[in-house]
A and B are shown apart, each in its own frame.
Chain A
Amino acid sequence: MSFFSYIKVETSRIFQSKSTWLVMVLTLLCPLIGYSVHQTAVTATTASFVLANPVLAGGLGGGILFALLALYEFDRVYKYHTDALTESITSPLLLGGAKLISLLAAALVTTVAASVLYLPYTVYRMGVVFNFLEYLDCFFILMLPSLWLSILATTAFYQMIRRVDLSFVLFAVFTFFSLSPWAESEYILRWINPLVPGLSDDFSNGIIFRTAVYNRLFWLSILSGIWFLGLLCVRNYRKGLFGSFTHNVRKAYLLELSIAFLCFGVYLYHAEPYIDHSPAKIYGSGVGGTQTIVAMDSPYAEENSNLTLVSTQLETDIEASRSRLKSTAVYQLKNSSGKPQECILQINPGYTIDHITANGEAVSFTDKKNDHEHMKDIAVSLPSEEEIRLEVRYEGYPKIWSETRRHLSGHKIEKDYVELGGIHLRPVINASDEGAGVTGEITLPSELELISSGKTAQVIQVNTDGTKTWRIDDPSGSASLFAGNYVKKELSGSVAPIYFYYSQKHENKMEKLEIEQILENTITYCTNQFGPLGYTEVEPFSILETAGHMFGGGSSGNLNIMDESHFSEDGFINFHSGATIADSISTEIIQTWWLQGAMVMDAENSDWTNGGLSVYAAYRMAKEMYGEGYAIENHVKEWEKAWSNMNRNFYVRHPEYANILPEKYIADLQVEFSTIRTHAGMALKVYKAAQLIGEDKMDAVLTELYQNGGTEHPPFITWHDFLNACGLKEEELNIDEAI
């Protein structure tokens, strides 16, 4: 009888067992835990909330349940002497293999059933952002392999030690390792709970799935190797462990398979392709431990001291479907040394340099492979000529830095989303420059809209292969690129146009919200209240939505970026953003006004930032546009609620207990409370001040501070500048009494 027939027979038997059905049903229920208790992915997006967390909970719970089932199935033949019958018919090794595959099949069927069961709710909750392929990826890359790996691990342990209790203890230790702080940031080690910091609703989650697939491949390889080793330990002829091993090892192919799988696993571990493991530079220490400062650009390399960078020109082909690019960077350099010299280029370690020429001649170069601070050095031998045209051909993809590996965040190329800049886009020559800008031609899939810092990117060619070539020009030299399936809206209300880019998935929702009108009202309000932003028609201000993996927002040159949580009902945090997504985006724009146009900072009061002023300004604008009732209900009351909740928190009332919390939780709490203090808390103080001096006077105070800056430490606007401008004392703004 063939092995496949054994599989068929054993699978059919397994599916007749009530234990199997019980485990399958319980596994189907496990994702429910992900909606509430087991929330490992940041729930700032709907996909994280209704897809990632349930699937991860399903993988964890199902993994444990299937481990128990596997132990039960493997042990019962010995416990109840069924082996006395079956082993007179066939080899226990063959039956072990068939039993394993039948359990894997049960896990597969369970996952298929789970994917069908949770589909309607997920589709209903996600609406337009639902992506069926990613839905399947979640179940079959994140959940299913967790069940398979659990089965492989427990049965491997059981075959070796033939004890249910010890096998389960080993499995528990192995599971604990995956969930422990040692594996927390290492995507490759987390076998039962793959690393999913959060799932994007609007853009590709390619990096999450690629790393998960690699993780699965690694563990399947390692555990298959251990499993075949376990198979060699299957007791035969009533011999003990060593006697059986000695006999079974005569089937040399089993040992060869075991070694091959283990070696492949070790190779995969060492050849891990996604993370750059270079360490960060430690610049200082802060409260609660050492603070690591993320250095994105290195200091000037000494070797480049006699060089001047005149310009950089890129010709880049972004192969989004392959998550990589091929590019040529051309640098105009001046060599003032009058002799040949070495020039250091720095680039993300995920790229390889193919060829370098200087003034048309090939020159030697060395990839130093000295990964440091998310980059590596390339040493190029430059000729002695003064004018040098250095052409560098390179390809690859940006690796994630080890410092951000916990979040798998950073620059990326995905099939529907691109985010590149600095050393992650091109080799950077850290030399003195004469205002050297970056220009370039970027080829992208035609469905992607390119947004570049500097001048607005323009399509210069529509290619026959389904791509478009864009021209970029960033005189500042930063050349930050974003691309995605964006809707582009031109907003009026300011001196120069402002562009707003958001995912096409939200087009209907945004139109219903009349977002254009709301944003234009915001821009008009800010322009009238504080004055226009300093952008021009050539280099306009752009607001764009980015992937949720960005965790927050920020700005890069004339680009203001907002992560997608601002566009998601599930990620929407209304204590500083008002009542709706539109309010949230308006607040971000107001915050941009304060970020770009004023410097709000106080060394003695870290809660004093542009955050609180922006939140207050959003309330004022809401009051102007929708009336006082709306503004108080949806802004002021939300701040009060957030502030009150924070003060009622157990760890705020008993900080002595916070010290016994794990560092991660302390950090999470600190971030949460800091946001509440800087936004809700400070907005409440400004609001109280406005009540004391009158709102019109407060408007005048803020306008004055915005336009002219502070006087205590110009140009910064300090907390005391604000108090002085209001004519108030700090104790008058005690908000705890007010609530």
Chain B
Amino acid sequence: MMNISVQNLNMTYPTGKIALRDISLDIKSPNLIGLLGPNGAGKSTFMNLLTAGLLPTGGSILLDGEPLVHKEKKLKSKLGYLPQSFGLYDELTVWQFLDYMAALKGIRDNKKDIERVIQETNLKDKRKARIRTLSGGQRQRVGIAQALLGNPELLIFDEPTVGLDPEERISFRNLFSKNAQDKIVLLSTHIIEDVQSVCNRLIAINHGKILFDGTPEQLILSAQGHVGLLENQQEEQGFKVTARVNTANGVHYRIVAKQLPFGAQVVEPTLEDAYMYLIGKEGDKQ
């Protein structure tokens, strides 16, 4: 069982940019957490702090009750991490690269483990291929595979489904879900579909602050009565169009708003509607 406690976490870059403001939350295993937020919201900074790639400028992160700064080695021994942007050793084959990463992780009997992650990430055909010959999606799969090596207790994926085709995305969602049965999986994304069906907890961040921390159902519930359909395009005032739907009766517009405009037909919100509503609401405050 792993327990991560984040207390009043602040992060300001030397340039003066404030990335995180006073974040507090607890994460316990098992858990599959979706971290949502627009680009530049502070998701990657948060993940970097959780993986000890950055030191916070304020607050603390406790790993099983002890400050992370003193338990870095312990964290790294239990961590599988896929950063948003990463490089691989192009001259190695997929198998050699995973062997290298497994060896860095100190995994004994790494052959079995490598076979397992190759299987799970559908890289069986590419195991002997040089990394330089792989497509973007295949490289992403190698990145995910290396994170899964050693069956770590904490898996952190930063935009893991970028570059994957729809079929692969579904397959990986299921893989994350399966892994989350006995560990913590933290999934950062701005693709709502990725988290909708699998995450049991969502954390939405914007401008370095937590806007929401709860279940997907709670997020959907928070948008009840704020999502509607408009038959005709109106001047966009006080609402945000989330989709343009072609129907037999013409084009319908799906909108979210604090107060739906006159004539809008209230509909059941989706997770994406709820997220848009949440972000939009925050935008209005700003």
Contact = CB atoms under 8 A, between A and B. Distances in A.
Interface in B52-93: 52-55, 72, 76, 79, 81, 83, 85-92
Contacts of B104: 1, 6, 9, 86, 89-90
Q: Interface size for chain B: under 10, 10 to 19, 20 to 34, or 35 or more residues?
A: 20 to 34
Given A13-B92, A16-B91, A16-B96, A85 B101 contact: yes
Given A13-B100, A88-B83, A238 B54 contact: yes
Nearest to B92: A16
Interface string B94-127: 0010001101111000000000000000000000
A368 interface: no
B14 A84 contact: no
A90 B76 CA distance: 7
Contacts of B100: 9, 12-13
A84 B101 contact: no
Nearest to B149: A89
Contacts of A84: 53, 83, 85-87
B87 A88 contact: no
Given A1-B104, A13-B89, A84-B87, A89 B55 contact: no
Contacts of B91: 16-19
B143 interface: yes
Given A13-B89, A16-B96, A5 B103 contact: yes
B105 to A, nearest CB: 6
Contacts of A238: 48, 53-54
B53 A82 contact: no
A76 B89 CA distance: 9
A81 B81 contact: no
A59 B132 CA distance: 33
B193 to A, nearest CB: 25
9 contacts: A1-B105, A9-B100, A84-B53, A84-B86, A85-B146, A88-B53, A89-B101, A89-B105, A90-B104
B148 to A, nearest CB: 13
A514 to B, nearest CB: 62
B81 A8 contact: no
A80 interface: yes
A626 interface: no
Interface in B129-147: 143, 146
Contact of B51 (A16, A82, A88, A90): A88
A21 to B, nearest CB: 10
Contacts of A1: 104-106
Nearest to A243: B14
Interface in A130-158: none
Given A1-B105, A6-B104, A89 B86 contact: no
A240 interface: yes
B138 to A, nearest CB: 16
A714 B162 CA distance: 102
B184 to A, nearest CB: 15
B53 A87 contact: yes
Q: List the 6 closest pairs (A to B, CB-CB), nearest first.
A: A80-B87, A1-B106, A9-B103, A88-B81, A84-B83, A81-B87
Contacts of A89: 76, 79, 101, 104-105
Contacts of A247: 55
A237 interface: yes
Nearest to A238: B54
Contacts of B14: 239-240, 243
Contacts of A85: 81, 83, 86-88, 101, 143, 146
A19 B90 CA distance: 12
B54 A82 contact: no
Contact of A82 (B72, B89, B106): B89
Nearest to A20: B91
B162 to A, nearest CB: 14
A81 B143 CA distance: 12
Interface string A182-225: 00000000000000000000000000000000000000000000
Given A82-B87, A84-B86, A85-B143, A237 B81 contact: no
A243 B76 CA distance: 22
Given A16-B96, A238-B54, A5 B101 contact: no
Interface residues of A, number: 31
A76 B53 CA distance: 18
Contacts of B92: 13, 16
Interface in A14-36: 16-19
A91 B104 CA distance: 11
Contacts of A18: 91
A13 B99 CA distance: 10
A23 B96 CA distance: 22
Contacts of A16: 91-92, 96
A8 B86 contact: no
Given A1-B106, A85-B101, A88-B76, 19 more contacts: A1-B104, A8-B103, A9-B100, A17-B91, A77-B87, A81-B85, A81-B86, A82-B86, A84-B53, A84-B87, A85-B88, A88-B79, A89-B105, A90-B76, A90-B104, A91-B72, A238-B48, A238-B54, A247-B55
A237 B89 contact: no
A284 B160 CA distance: 81
Contacts of B87: 76-77, 79-82, 84-85
B132 to A, nearest CB: 11
B49 to A, nearest CB: 10
Interface string A49-92: 00000000000000000000000000011011110111111110
Contacts of A5: 103, 106
Contacts of B86: 81-82, 84-85
Contacts of A87: 53
A237 B103 contact: no
Contacts of A90: 76, 104
B101 A237 contact: no
Nearest to B56: A237
A9 B99 CA distance: 9
A239 B57 CA distance: 12
Nearest to A6: B104
Contacts of A13: 89, 92, 96, 100
Contacts of B143: 85
Nearest to A19: B91
Contacts of B85: 81, 84
- Most central of A76, A85, A87, A239 by chain B CB within 10 Å: A85
- Most central of B55, B101, B104 by chain A CB within 10 Å: B104
A82 B88 contact: yes
Contacts of B83: 81, 84-85, 88
A85 B90 CA distance: 14
A18 B100 CA distance: 16
A172 to B, nearest CB: 27
B51 A237 contact: no
Contacts of B52: 88, 237
B243 to A, nearest CB: 35
Contacts of A17: 89, 91
Nearest to A77: B87
B146 A237 contact: no
Interface string A222-260: 000000000000000111100100010000000000000
B106 A237 contact: no
Nearest to A17: B91
A9 to B, nearest CB: 4
B256 to A, nearest CB: 35
- Most central of B87, B101, B106 by chain A CB within 10 Å: B87
A90 B83 CA distance: 15
Nearest to A79: B87
A85 B143 CA distance: 8
Contacts of A239: 14, 55
B175 to A, nearest CB: 19
A86 B55 CA distance: 17
Interface in A559-616: none
Contacts of B51: 88
- Most central of B81, B86, B88, B96 by chain A CB within 10 Å: B86
Nearest to B80: A88
